[in-house]
């Protein structure tokens, strides 16, 4: 272990992204370091494979809620979407800078440790893993809802229990996902990620098909709805969540100096896909659009089947990438630093099974996504990167313009966290 640390120290970056010396001399050995396990993911992923993984991490099921987000906030809320996209790109850059501050940093909780000590690590641990866990649950909810629409009335008996509808398809989706959770190699996951990106593009094409073939495109006069803006903002933040796995992807690169380029490419591609889906979905269905736009598509149509199938591919492709840090953390807590295959299989299976149980009881996909975006995603995507960056680099000096920008981002994050969380919790409670 000592030799390994010496090697890591020898290849540590020597220049700060701020053209200032990095924070030298930090060689703390964290007893509960999640990176002890995440190091097994370092496979030297190429630039192209990292682009696939990062784009897949950012682009996900949030695309289905984009038309609903516009319906809630009105057309002018798309300006906020642009702002949210720019903010999340910038905070992704801050995470990269924090990663370069110390050679021991390999995971998001490590950043919290360097910035705020043990309490910072615990805070990021809780927010990050709860966020990833809830997003994983929302994937299964999405699978169950859409497969139930595609194959209504399906039933099956399993181990003496009668499964039907949404619950049946959640279990079947979990069975398909399970083998991907056993993979440790992020380079291999790039091929799975590619399938998810193709699925996202096909979904957008299906919406165009639906608009041209059926309902057509209509002009909606809802320019701005102030009451719905908190929900819209929360859903927009869901679209760009994924910062919790940025450090894992950064550490997996052959040359992590190119991470900024990867982040920019991924952000632009995802923004274009999200924006196009939002405009098309709202033009087609207007204020009647549902929290998952695929649920508006008429049953039995070919484009509906294509859209739903493509929708199902994305969570299948992304689930393993998001739960990898959770599995790694459990292995670390159980002192399984070597990451043996039997232990990995057992832990991954247990994590998946627990999300299946919760997903089978969650009936409110849109409200759950809004809550994740408003509270957990804002914390992990906006607040933590800004606070950690300020703490780590304050001694080196931060430009005044950057301080002003970060202050504005923090105010936006707090606003969304407070108003969006309150609104989404009210909506969730109202469903019972």
What are the boundaries of each domain within the chain?
43-430
Structure token pair of residue 360: 């089978």
Kind and range of the H or E element at 292? Answer: none
Note the pLDDT of residue 22. Answer: 34
Sign of CA dihedral 282, 288, 290, 294: negative
Note the pLDDT of residue 61. Answer: 65
Predicted confidence band at 340 (pLDDT cuts at 50, 70, 90)?
A: low
Nearest partner of 365 among 313, 414, 311, judged by Cα: 311
Most confidently modeled range among 53-67, 77-91, 137-151, 171-185: 77-91
| Burial grade of 391 (CB within 10 A; 0-12, 13-18, 19 or more) | middle
Note the pLDDT of residue 124. Answer: 87
3-class SS of residue 137: helix
Task: Say which residue, 31 or 200, is predicted with more confidence.
Answer: 200
Strands 161-164 and 155-158, by their bridges, are: antiparallel
Nearest partner of 405 among 424, 425, 390, 427, judged by Cα: 390
Answer yes or no: is pLDDT of 19 > 60. no
Nearest partner of 145 among 313, 353, 323, 365, judged by Cα: 365
Q: Between 108-150 and 384-393, two packed helices, what is the crossing angle to 10 degrees?
A: 170
Segment among 46-60, 92-106, 268-282 with least mean pLDDT? 46-60
Residue 161 — φ and ψ, nearest 5°?
-105, 140
When the pLDDT of each residue in the chain is averaged and rounded to a whole number, the result is 76
Predicted confidence band at 259 (pLDDT cuts at 50, 70, 90)?
A: confident
Answer yes or no: is pLDDT of 156 > 90. no
Note the pLDDT of residue 208. Answer: 76
Note the pLDDT of residue 373. Answer: 62
Beta bridge partners of 155: 164
Task: Say which residue, 258 or 375, is predicted with more confidence.
Answer: 258
Residues 6+ positions from 360 with CB-CB distance below 8 Å: 144, 166, 167, 170
Note the pLDDT of residue 372. Answer: 67
Predicted confidence band at 410 (pLDDT cuts at 50, 70, 90)?
A: very high
CATH level 3 topology of 43-430? Amino acid/polyamine transporter I (1.20.1740)
For the chain, what percentages of helix, strand and coil (3-state, to nearest 5) are there? 75, 0, 20
Answer yes or no: is pLDDT of 93 > 90. yes
Answer yes or no: is pLDDT of 8 > 60. no
Segment among 48-57, 241-250, 305-314, 337-346 with least mean pLDDT? 337-346
Note the pLDDT of residue 102. Answer: 84
What is the tens place of the pLDDT at every residue in 349-385? 888 888 888 888 766 655 666 666 667 778 888 899 9
**pTM passes above 0.75:** no
- State the Cα torsion 327-328-332-333 to the nearest 10°: -30
Predicted confidence band at 248 (pLDDT cuts at 50, 70, 90)?
A: confident
Segment among 78-87, 129-138, 208-217, 249-258 with least mean pLDDT? 208-217
Structure token pair of residue 139: 């994937």
Answer yes or no: is pLDDT of 263 > 80. yes
Note the pLDDT of residue 370. Answer: 63
Establish how many alpha carbons lie within 13 A of residue 369's alpha carbon, considering only the half-sphere containing its beta carbon.
29
């Amino acid at each position: 272990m000592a030799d390994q640390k010496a090697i890591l120290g020898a290849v540590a970056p020597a220049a700060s992204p701020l053209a200032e010396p990095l924070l030298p001399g930090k060689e703390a050995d964290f007893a509960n370091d999640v990176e002890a396990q995440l190091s097994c993911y370092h496979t030297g992923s190429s630039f192209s494979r990292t682009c696939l993984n990062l784009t897949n991490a950012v682009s996900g099921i949030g695309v289905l809620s984009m038309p609903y987000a516009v319906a809630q906030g009105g057309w002018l809320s798309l300006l906020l979407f642009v702002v949210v996209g720019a903010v999340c790109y910038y905070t992704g850059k801050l995470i990269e800078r924090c990663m370069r501050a110390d050679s021991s940093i390999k995971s998001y909780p490590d950043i919290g440790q360097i910035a705020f000590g043990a309490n910072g690590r615990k805070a990021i641990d809780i927010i990050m893993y709860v966020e990833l866990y809830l997003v994983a649950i929302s994937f299964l909810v999405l699978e169950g809802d859409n497969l139930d629409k595609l194959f209504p009335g399906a039933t099956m008996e399993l181990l003496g229990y009668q499964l039907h509808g949404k619950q049946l398809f959640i279990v079947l989706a979990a069975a398909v996902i399970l083998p991907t959770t056993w993979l440790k190699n992020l380079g291999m996951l790039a091929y799975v990620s590619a399938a998810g990106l193709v699925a996202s593009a096909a979904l957008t094409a299906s919406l165009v098909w639906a608009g041209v073939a059926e309902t057509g495109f209509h002009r909606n006069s809802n320019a701005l709805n102030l009451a719905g803006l908190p929900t819209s903002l929360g859903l927009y933040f869901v679209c760009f969540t994924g910062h919790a796995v940025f450090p894992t992807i950064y550490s997996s690169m052959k040359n992590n100096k190119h991470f900024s380029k990867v982040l920019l490419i991924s952000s632009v591609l995802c923004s274009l896909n999200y924006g196009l889906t939002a405009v098309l979905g709202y033009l087609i269905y207007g204020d009647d659009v549902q929290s998952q736009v695929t649920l508006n598509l008429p049953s039995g149509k070919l484009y509906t089947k294509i859209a739903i199938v493509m929708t199902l591919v994305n969570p299948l492709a992304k689930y393993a990438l998001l739960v990898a840090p959770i599995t790694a953390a459990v292995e670390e807590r159980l002192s399984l630093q070597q990451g043996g295959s039997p232990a990995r299989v057992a832990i991954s299976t247990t994590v998946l099974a627990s999300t299946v149980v919760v997903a089978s009881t969650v009936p409110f996909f849109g409200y759950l996504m809004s809550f994740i975006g408003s509270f957990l995603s804002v914390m992990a995507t906006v607040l933590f990167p800004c606070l950690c960056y300020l703490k780590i680099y304050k001694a080196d000096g931060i430009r005044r313009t950057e301080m002003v920008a970060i202050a504005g981002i923090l105010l936006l994050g707090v606003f969304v966290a407070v108003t969006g969380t309150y609104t989404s919790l009210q909506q969730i409670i109202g469903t019972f």
